Structure 1
Amino acid sequence: MADIMKQEDKKTLLDRLSWFLTRYRLIVLALILVITAAFFFGALKIKGEVIFTDMLPYDHPYLKLHETFSKIFGSGGSGVVIAVKTNNGDIFNEATLAKVKKITQEIELWDEVYRALTVSIASHSVKVVTAKSKGEISVAPLMFPDVPKNPEEMEVLKKNIFSNPAYNGTLVSKDGTGTIILTEFKENISYERAFQLLQKLKKDYADNQTSIHITGYPMLMGWIYSLKPQMYKIFGISVIGIAVILFLVFRNFLGIISPLVNAGILTIWGLGFIGFTGINFNPMLYVLAFLVGSRMIGNSVQITYRYFEELNISGNDRSRACYETMRTMFIPNFAAVATDAAGFLVLLLAKIVLMQHLAIIMTFWMMSIILTGFMVPVICTLIPLHVAGAVWDKERSRTGLVAGIMSKITNFSISPHGRYVVGAIIVVIAVVCTWQTSKLKIGDPTPGSPIFYDSHTYNRDQAMIDKTFDASSENLMLFYEGQKDSAYNPTVLNTFEGFERHIRKTLPDIYKSSTSIMDIMKMTNVTYHDGDKLWCQLPRNLTMSTGLMNMVKQNTPRGTFERFMDATGERAQTTLFFSDHTSENLLRIRDAAYDFFKTRPMKIDKGEFKLAGGRIGLEIALNEEMKRAHVIIDLTVLGAIFLLCMLSFRSVTAGLMLTLPLFLANSVAAAYMAWKGIGLSINTLPVAAIGVGVGVDFAIYLYSRCREEFPLQKGDWVATITQSICTCGKAVVYTGTTIILPILSWYIFSDMKFQSEVGFFLAMIMGTNVMLTLSLHPLMIYIIKPKFISRNLAVEEAVRETKEQQ
C-alpha cells in the first residue's frame, strides 16, 4: 500500500483519503457493518400509516378553519358513502330495509366513527315532521326503531321520503332502487382498520339481491393499503430483474454481488433511519423508495465498471484498483448523489408535513449512496472471484455492438451535418413539450380517483353513486361563527340558504344537493301551517326564527341538531355535495363561493361566515399549495444542481452545461404528465422533483471522464469524446438499463394506475437523459470546448515542464 502513494505525482487530500480508506478498508467496512446492524433494528420500527392531516398544507387558512370546526362538526375529509343497491326492484321491501337497518346499527357501534355523523333512513337522527291534533307538531324518526311491517306502513315511508326534497334523490335514489348510509371516520383511525370494517360490510351484506358500493377517502386509502403485498412482489421481481441485467452487463458474479450487497446495506440504512425518526412511510411513496434503490444500483454499476477497468490496468492488483477507483470516482459520485439528494431536500419548501418528512428521510437515504464509492471497490477486493481482465481493456472498449451504436450516435451528433439535425430535433421537442406542458393540471384532472384505473372497484363504485344519488363524499362546508345565539338570526340562516341557491344555479352540472338545519326548520314550518307548501321557507324576523329553532331543538336529538349547529348557537354550518373534485371543478366551486360574497358581507354585526371546509375545501387548499410550491421547488432544485455542478467542476460553464439540458428533460416529463392526464398532486410532485435531480447523473460521469481522457488523447476533442462515450458512456447505458427496466416492472405489474404511470414516467426521464448524454452533451462539449475539461492538459504540461527543468 505504501508503494501506491510513492507512485503518485500529486498527494492531494483526495489521494490521501483514498489511500487511507484502501489501507484500512477492513476496519472502515467493519464500522459500517456495525452501524448497519443498528439501523437494522430501526428498520423493524417502521410505521406505514397515512396520517390524514400530514397530507394537508398546515399553514393554509382552510386548514386552520378545519382544525377549529372539525372538533365541532367533524372534518368532512374522512367521510364515507355506503350505497345499498338492489339488483331487481326497489328497496321498499322488508328484507332490504332490514339490511339497511342492520348496516346502520353496525356502523353506529364502531368506535372508529362519529356516531352522530352516521346518517341513513334507518337512523334515529333522520326525522319526519307531522302535525297532530290541537296544533301539536311531531318530529319523529323516519324509520326507527322498526322497518315497515305491512304495505300500509311501507306506503307511508315512501310518501315521507319522496315528498321530502332532503331525502328524495339524496338518501334514497329517485327511482327507489338504492339508498345510502353516510358516516365519518375519526381522524386518528388507521385506514387499514377502516378498510377492514368496510370490506366486512360488503362481505356480510352483499348477495344476489343486493350490491354494496363504498367510496370516500378512508376507502380509497384502504384500497391502496390492500395492494402492499403486490408491491412487495414487484420489489422481488425487480430485484431478480436487476440481478439478471447485472449478469448480462458484467458477465461475472462479482459484478452481480458487489452492487446488490452495497444496495442491501444502504437500504437497511434508509429503512433504519425512517424507523428511528418515527416518520410514517406512506405506501404511495414506495415507488420512490425503489427509485432510491435503483440509484444505488446505478451508481454501483458505474463504480464497478471503473473498478474492472482499473483492475485490468493494474495487472490484477486489487488494492491498486480499489485505490484508483475511489480516487477517480469520488467527485463524480459525490456530485451525482448530491444532485439527487437536492431533488428531495427542496421538498422542505412545501408547507405539508408529509412532504417535509419525505425530504428528511429521502435526503438522508440518498446521501448514504456516497458510501458506494468506498464500499463497492472494497467489496470487490474482498470477494475472491476471478474477473477476466482482458474484457475491460480500454483499447477494446470501442468494440462490440453497444459501443458501435453509441459511437454512431455520438459521431453523428458532433458531425457538421448531424449537429444541425440534433439541434433541430431538440428545438422541435422543446416547442412541442412546452406547448403540451401548458395543459398540465394542478390536482386531479379526472373524476374518480386517478390513483386507480377506471375499471377498479373504487372508481366503478364512485361512478355508480354519482349517477344514482344526489349525495357524495365530495362536500363543501360553509361555516358561521359569532356571538351566543347569533346563529339563530334570520340573516345567518337566509345567507346559508342563499349560498346554497347561488351554487345550485351557478354550477348545475356538478352540484348535487345540500344539507343543513334549515331543512328541518322548513319541514317544521310547513307542518305547523297545516302542510301549506307556501310556508316551506325560513322565518324573516328574529322572534319567529328563534321560536322555530327552539321547537326544532326540543324535538330533535342532540346529536342530530349538533351536526349543523352547536348547543350555544355560536357556530353553524351548511354542507353542499358535488359530483367530483377535478382540478377545474374545484376552481369553479371556489370562484362561485366567493362570487356569492361579493354582494354580501362575510362579516355581519354579531359574527362572520368562513370558507371553506369539507373535503372540497381541503382539496382546494392542497391544490393552491401545490401551485405555489411546485414552481419554487422546480426553480430551487435547478439552482441547487447548478451550484453543486459548478462547485464540483469549479466552473460556471460546467454548471450551465449540466443544468440547462435539464429544462428540456423536465419539459418532456411535464408534457408526458399533461398528455396522460396526470395532475400535479402531493403524490406526483415529489416524483417530478426527484426526476429533475436524477437526470443530471449521467452527464456528470461523462464530463468527469472527459477531463481524465483529454490529456491522454493529447487534446484531441473528438478522440476525447469518443473514448469517454465508449467507456463511461457505455457504463451510462448499462446504468440506465439497470434502472429503467426494473422501474418499468411497476408499469407492467402494478394494478395501481398511479404507480404504473409513475414507473413509466421515471423510466422515460431516465431514457431521455441517457439519450441526451449520448447526443446533446457530446455536441455541447465539442462546440464549446470548455476549459474545465481542457484544464487538466495544461496542468500536466506545466508539471512536465517543471520536471524537465529540474
Structure 2
Amino acid sequence: MAGKNNEQISSMPVVKERRAFDSKSGNALERLVFNHRLVLILLCAVLSVFFGIKVATGLQINASFEKMIPQSNPYIRNYLANKGDLKGLGNSLRIVIENTQGDIYDPAYLESLRKINDAVFLMPGVDRPWVKSIWMPAVRWNIVTEKGYAGGPVMPSTYNGSPASIDALRTNIARAGITGSLVANDLKSTMIVVPLLERDAAGKPINYAHFSHLLDDMVRTQQHGNIRIHVVGFAKLIGDLIDGLKQVMAYFGIAAAIALGVIFFYTRCPRSTFLVVACSLVAVLWQLGIVTTLGLVVDPYSVLVPFLVFAIGVSHGAQKMNGILQDVGRGTHKYVAARYTFRRLFLAGLTALMADMVGFAVLTIIDIPVIKDLALTASIGVGVLVFTNLLLLPVLLSYVGVSPAAARRTLIEEAAETGSRSRVASLWNWLDRFTERRWASGAIAVTVLLAAGGFAVSQRLQIGDLDAGAPELRADSVYNRDNAFINAHYGLSSDMFVVIGKSSLPNCDADHYQMLADVDRFEIALQNVSGVQTTSSAASLTRLVTSGAYEGYPKWFTINRTPAILNRSLFQVLLDRPDLISAACNTMPIIAYLTDHKAATLTRVLDAAQRFADAHKDASHQFLLAAGSAGIDAATNIVVKEANERMLLLVYGAVVLLCLITFRSWRAAIVALVPLVVTSVLCEALMVMLGIGVKVATLPVIALGVGIGVDYALYLLSVQLNYQRAGLPLRDAYRRAVQFTGKVVALVGVTLAAGVVTWAWSPIKFQADMGILLTFMFVTNMIGALVLIPSLSHFLLRGVSSRPGHAELRSAIALAENSKGA
C-alpha cells in the first residue's frame, strides 16, 4: 500500500507555476481535499470553535472507585453482589487526628476531634451510619459483670471535659479494645473511619476533586497548634492525583516548547514549524471536545493521552513538512509540493496511524473500565490526527508554504550529505556499513545478547504494586507520609482482605453452627499466612459474647452448638458489630488485616483463602472471594496478568498483519518486527531494574510503545524496499531511504521522546514511570530501526528483485545519476 505510493518519490516532475499543474490529477481523495481547500479549512475552524466551547464549559476531571476495578472478574462480581452487606469494606477514608504535644485525653484535643468528626459526618458522599470514631455512639464497649452484660458508647453521654469524664473515657477505651484500631498504640492520636458512597443524594457520581478540596477546607484547616491531621483512602488519593494533574499541565506546555525547538532546529522555517505544532494542538482540542461531547470524564490515567496525541501528531506533521521542503527546494510551487507530499505520504501515514490505533485498541481487552476509557480516548485522538495532520496540515502548507531559505538549505544539506566530509554524511556512511555481512552479523549478535540478558532479567517482572503506600504518588508525598504514620502507630493496617461467608439458611433463628465453625477455622488458617497481621469475624466475637453471658467462664469461650445460645450470641454481635454480620445473618465477612498490599503478599493470602474456600463449602454455606482494598487489589492483579499476555499477542499479531499488507513480504515483516520485540523485552527488564510492577498504570506502556514504534519501520523500510524493487542494491537502497526519510525517523524519535520525557519530573509517580518507559521505547525503537533494519535486510532482503512496475522510478534514478555526473 505505502510501497506503491512511494513509487512516485523521485519521478514527480518539478512544477514551478500552479497553473501548469493539472488539478484533476491524483486520486479522488486528493482532488476532494485540495480542490475544496477553503471548505475544509472553514469546516475545521467551525469544529475547533465548537469543541473549544465544549472543553471550556464541560470538561471534567474525575475518577470512580468502581471504574478502577475489573468488574467482570469473579472475585469482584462477588464483592459487587454483596456490597450492601459489606459496609465500610470498600471505598473509605481514614482520618487520623494527632496530638503532637500530649495524648488523646487532653480536653482541648477532644474538642478539636469532636469538631472534625461532626464536619466529616455531614460531608456529602459520606455513608453516615457506618462512620466510626470514639465520638460516634455506634462505637461501644462491653464488659461482663456479676449481673450480666454491661455496655455503652465509648464516649460517655455525660462527657463535659472534666477530669471525671476524661477518666470514664479512658476506662471505656480500655474496655472496648479499640487501641490499635481507632486509637493509636501510643495513645497520641485517634482515627475516624469514613465509608463513602459512590453517588451523592442527587444520584450523581462523587466528584473526588471537589470532595478532596472540601475535605481540606473542613478538616485540614483545623490543623493548628498541637493538632496534626493525616488522611488516607481512595478519595484522598484521587484528589491528590487530580491536584497533581494541574501541575502536569505545565509539562504539556514544556513538551510543546521542546517540539517547537526540535522541529525549528531541523527546518529553520518558523511558519511550517508553527503549523505543525498548531495542527497537533488542534487535534488535542478536538479529542478533548469529543470526549466531553460523549459525556466522558478525564481521569488521572487518560489525562496522559493528550500528551501522546500531541507527540504523534508532531511526528507525522514533521514527515509532511519534510516532503514539502524538499519539493519546494527543487523549485516546485508550494501548492503542487503539498499535493505531491499528500500523494507520497498519506497512505504511509494512515497505515502508521492505524498501527498506533491498534496499540490503543487492544487495551479494550483489559477488563478495567478506566483502561477501556483510556483506549477509547486515545483511539479518538489518533482518529482525529487523520484529519488534522494528514489532511488539514498539507492544505494549510499549500497556502502558507515554507521559507524559501529553509527549502534551499534542505537542498544544500542534501548535497553536502553525498560528500565525505559532512558530519551527517559520516553518520549515513556509518549506518550504511550495517548492510555489510561483518557489521550486520555484529549488530545481530549484540542484539541477541541484549535480548537474552533482557529476557533473563524480565523473568523477575512482578504483577502489582512493589512498594508500600500509594505507588501512584512519590514516596515523599503528603499522602504517603500520612500512610507511613498510620502504619507505624496503629496495629491494624488499611490493607484489608475480606472473604465473604454466605449462608443459605433463611434467617437469624436458623442453626448457623457449622457456618460459624468454618468461619472460625478460616480465621485460624489466615492468621497462619505470612503477611497477615490479625483477623476479625463474627465467629471470634461470638466466642467472646457467649463467654460473657456466663460470667466470662473460660469453658464457655466457644461457639456453642445449642441453637438458642448461639442465636442469642449472634443477636448481640449484630447489635455491637453490624459490619461483621448482615441483618439476615446470611453474610459473615472474614477480615484479614495485611502488613501491606505488595503483589507477593496478596498472592500468598489469596491462594491460602481460595484453598480453604474450595475445601469448606457445602449446601448450607460457602466462602466467596474477595472484598476489601487488598482483595480488590488481588483481583486486579489477576486481570492485569492475564491481560498482559493476551495484549502482547494481539498487538504483535495486528502489527504483523499491517506490515504484511504494507510491505507485501513476510521477510520484510520479520525485519520490521524484530526491533519491536527486542525493545519490548528490554523495556520489561528496565521495569525490573527500576522496581516497577505491571499494574493498571504501566500495563498500557508496552502496547503503546509497539503500536507507535512500528511507525519507524513503516516509513523507512517501505522506501528501502521500493528502491530495491526498482533495481538498486541493498546498500544504495538503504542509503536513499535514510536520506529521504531516515532523518525524519530520527526527528520523530526525538520528538516523541521529548513529548513524554518531561513526565519524569511529574509529582505523580505512575506518570513519571510511564514517561521513562515510553521515552526508552521510543528512542530504542528508533535506534533499532536505523541499525537492525539494514542488518536484518542483509540476510533476509538482500535478494529483493527488480519489478516491472517500478520502471518509472528506475528511469528517474538514472536521470538523477546522469544529472549528478553532469
User: How high is the TM-score relative to the length of structure 2?
Assistant: 0.89
Q: How has the CA–CA distance of structure 1 residues 783 and 136 changed in structure 2, closer, same or farther, with 3 Å as cutoff?
A: closer
How many Å separate the matches in 1 of 2:108 and 2:141?
A: 22
Task: Indicate conservation of the 8 Å contact 2:757/2:775, yes or no.
Answer: yes
Q: Say yes or no: does 1:301 pair with 2:301.
A: no
Task: Indicate conservation of the 8 Å contact 1:523/1:536, yes or no.
Answer: yes
The match for 2:33 is 21
Q: How has the CA–CA distance of structure 1 residues 356 and 88 changed in structure 2, closer, same or farther, with 3 Å as cutoff?
A: same
Q: Provide, for residues 33-52 of structure 1, a one-character-per-residue CA deviation record: whole Å limited to 9, x for no partner.
A: 33434433443433322122
**Selected match of 1:218 from 235, 248, 255:** 235
Give the gaps of 5 or more residues in structure 2: 1-17, 200-205, 813-822
The residue correspondences of 1:394-433 to structure 2 (distance < 5 A) are: 394-398=414-418, 403-404=424-425, 406-433=427-454
Q: Provide, for residues 38-82 of structure 1, a one-character-per-residue CA deviation record: whole Å limited to 9, x for no partner.
A: 433443433322122122212111222222221232362312122
Q: Say yes or no: does 1:108 pair with 2:102.
A: no
The match for 1:762 is 774
**Selected match of 2:187 from 176, 190, 212:** 176
The more displaced of 770-779 and 196-205 is: 196-205
Task: Indicate conservation of the 8 Å contact 2:305/2:374, yes or no.
Answer: no
**Residue 711 of structure 1: CA displacement?**
7.0
How many Å separate the matches in 1 of 2:87 and 2:712?
A: 50
**Residue 230 of structure 1: CA displacement?**
0.2
Q: Secondary structure at the match of 1:512?
A: strand
Q: How has the CA–CA distance of structure 1 residues 562 and 331 changed in structure 2, closer, same or farther, with 3 Å as cutoff?
A: same
Q: Aligned residues, how many? A: 781
Task: Indicate conservation of the 8 Å contact 1:503/1:592, yes or no.
Answer: yes
Task: Indicate conservation of the 8 Å contact 2:529/2:605, yes or no.
Answer: no
How many Å separate the matches in 1 of 2:451 and 2:653?
A: 20
**Residue 156 of structure 1: CA displacement?**
4.5
**Residue 380 of structure 1: CA displacement?**
1.4
Letter in 1 for 2:489: T
How many Å separate the matches in 1 of 2:158 and 2:590?
A: 30
Q: Provide, for residues 282-321 of structure 1, a one-character-per-residue CA deviation record: whole Å limited to 9, x for no partner.
A: 12232232011100001101110111011122x1411221
Q: Say yes or no: does 1:94 pair with 2:107.
A: yes
Q: How has the CA–CA distance of structure 1 residues 219 and 588 changed in structure 2, closer, same or farther, with 3 Å as cutoff?
A: same
**Residue 342 of structure 1: CA displacement?**
0.3
**Selected match of 1:672 from 672, 686, 689:** 686
The match for 1:502 is 525
How many Å separate the matches in 1 of 2:614 and 2:162?
A: 53
The more displaced of 493-502 and 787-796 is: 787-796
The match for 2:700 is 686
Letter in 2 for 1:344: F
**Residue 707 of structure 1: CA displacement?**
4.1
Q: How has the CA–CA distance of structure 1 residues 318 and 756 changed in structure 2, closer, same or farther, with 3 Å as cutoff?
A: same
The match for 2:5 is none
The residue correspondences of 1:482-501 to structure 2 (distance < 5 A) are: 482-485=504-507, 489-501=512-524
Give the gaps of 5 or more residues in structure 1: 801-806
Q: Say yes or no: does 1:355 pair with 2:375.
A: no
How many Å separate the matches in 2 of 1:31 and 1:154?
A: 73
Q: How has the CA–CA distance of structure 1 residues 346 and 402 changed in structure 2, closer, same or farther, with 3 Å as cutoff?
A: farther
Letter in 1 for 2:623: F
Task: Indicate conservation of the 8 Å contact 1:348/1:359, yes or no.
Answer: yes
Task: Indicate conservation of the 8 Å contact 1:702/1:728, yes or no.
Answer: yes
Q: Provide, for residues 228-287 of structure 1, a one-character-per-residue CA deviation record: whole Å limited to 9, x for no partner.
A: 220111111221222222221111112312202211222222112211221222122322
Letter in 1 for 2:134: I
The residue correspondences of 1:756-795 to structure 2 (distance < 5 A) are: 756-785=768-797, 790-791=802-803, 794-795=806-807
**Selected match of 2:485 from 464, 472, 482:** 464
RMSD: 2.7
Q: Say yes or no: does 1:325 pair with 2:341.
A: yes
The residue correspondences of 1:387-786 to structure 2 (distance < 5 A) are: 387-388=404-405, 389-393=407-411, 394-398=414-418, 403-404=424-425, 406-481=427-502, 482-485=504-507, 489-507=512-530, 510-518=531-539, 521-532=542-553, 535-551=556-572, 553=574, 556=575, 561-597=577-613, 599=615, 601-605=616-620, 607-710=621-724, 715-748=728-761, 750-785=762-797
How many Å separate the matches in 2 of 1:28 and 1:762?
A: 34
The more displaced of 257-266 and 691-700 is: 257-266
Q: How has the CA–CA distance of structure 1 residues 592 and 197 changed in structure 2, closer, same or farther, with 3 Å as cutoff?
A: farther
**Residue 788 of structure 1: CA displacement?**
6.8
How many Å separate the matches in 2 of 1:512 and 1:116?
A: 27
Q: How has the CA–CA distance of structure 1 residues 402 and 684 changed in structure 2, closer, same or farther, with 3 Å as cutoff?
A: farther
**Residue 798 of structure 1: CA displacement?**
9.6
Q: Secondary structure at the match of 1:771?
A: helix
Q: How has the CA–CA distance of structure 1 residues 522 and 208 changed in structure 2, closer, same or farther, with 3 Å as cutoff?
A: farther
The residue correspondences of 1:128-167 to structure 2 (distance < 5 A) are: 128-131=141-144, 135-145=147-157, 147=159, 149-162=161-174, 166-167=177-178
**Residue 401 of structure 1: CA displacement?**
6.2
Letter in 2 for 1:406: L
**Residue 402 of structure 1: CA displacement?**
6.1
How many Å separate the matches in 2 of 1:576 and 1:783?
A: 59
Letter in 2 for 1:572: M
Task: Indicate conservation of the 8 Å contact 1:646/1:653, yes or no.
Answer: no
Q: How has the CA–CA distance of structure 1 residues 727 and 346 changed in structure 2, closer, same or farther, with 3 Å as cutoff?
A: same
Q: Secondary structure at the match of 1:227?
A: helix
How many Å separate the matches in 1 of 2:668 and 2:483?
A: 52
How many Å separate the matches in 2 of 1:377 and 1:798?
A: 28
How many Å separate the matches in 1 of 2:377 and 2:799?
A: 38
Q: Secondary structure at the match of 1:530?
A: coil
**Selected match of 2:77 from 64, 68, 78:** 64
Task: Indicate conservation of the 8 Å contact 2:334/2:398, yes or no.
Answer: yes
Letter in 2 for 1:485: N
**Residue 333 of structure 1: CA displacement?**
0.6
How many Å separate the matches in 2 of 1:698 and 1:496?
A: 59
Letter in 2 for 1:278: G
Q: Provide, for residues 631-671 of structure 1, a one-character-per-residue CA deviation record: whole Å limited to 9, x for no partner.
A: 11111011111111211223333322212321111111111
Task: Indicate conservation of the 8 Å contact 2:212/2:236, yes or no.
Answer: yes
The match for 2:7 is none
**Residue 794 of structure 1: CA displacement?**
4.9
The more displaced of 587-596 and 401-410 is: 401-410
**Residue 786 of structure 1: CA displacement?**
5.9
How many Å separate the matches in 2 of 1:648 and 1:612?
A: 47
Task: State the identity %.
Answer: 23
The match for 1:804 is none
How many Å separate the matches in 1 of 2:797 and 2:772?
A: 35
Q: Secondary structure at the match of 1:627?
A: helix
Task: Indicate conservation of the 8 Å contact 1:80/1:473, yes or no.
Answer: no
Q: How has the CA–CA distance of structure 1 residues 520 and 148 changed in structure 2, closer, same or farther, with 3 Å as cutoff?
A: farther
How many Å separate the matches in 2 of 1:154 and 1:531?
A: 27
Q: How has the CA–CA distance of structure 1 residues 723 and 758 changed in structure 2, closer, same or farther, with 3 Å as cutoff?
A: same
**Residue 518 of structure 1: CA displacement?**
4.8
Letter in 2 for 1:635: L
Task: Indicate conservation of the 8 Å contact 2:117/2:192, yes or no.
Answer: yes
Letter in 2 for 1:428: L
**Selected match of 1:345 from 361, 381, 387:** 361
**Residue 417 of structure 1: CA displacement?**
3.1
Q: How has the CA–CA distance of structure 1 residues 402 and 279 changed in structure 2, closer, same or farther, with 3 Å as cutoff?
A: farther
How many Å separate the matches in 1 of 2:547 and 2:32?
A: 90
The more displaced of 282-291 and 139-148 is: 139-148
How many Å separate the matches in 2 of 1:331 and 1:420?
A: 33
Task: Indicate conservation of the 8 Å contact 1:450/1:678, yes or no.
Answer: no
Q: How has the CA–CA distance of structure 1 residues 267 and 149 changed in structure 2, closer, same or farther, with 3 Å as cutoff?
A: closer
**Selected match of 1:124 from 113, 132, 137:** 137
Q: Provide, for residues 610-644 of structure 1, a one-character-per-residue CA deviation record: whole Å limited to 9, x for no partner.
A: 22111122112211111111111111011111111
Q: How has the CA–CA distance of structure 1 residues 552 and 672 changed in structure 2, closer, same or farther, with 3 Å as cutoff?
A: closer
**Residue 159 of structure 1: CA displacement?**
4.1
How many Å separate the matches in 1 of 2:804 and 2:473?
A: 53
Task: Indicate conservation of the 8 Å contact 1:650/1:788, yes or no.
Answer: no
**Residue 548 of structure 1: CA displacement?**
2.4
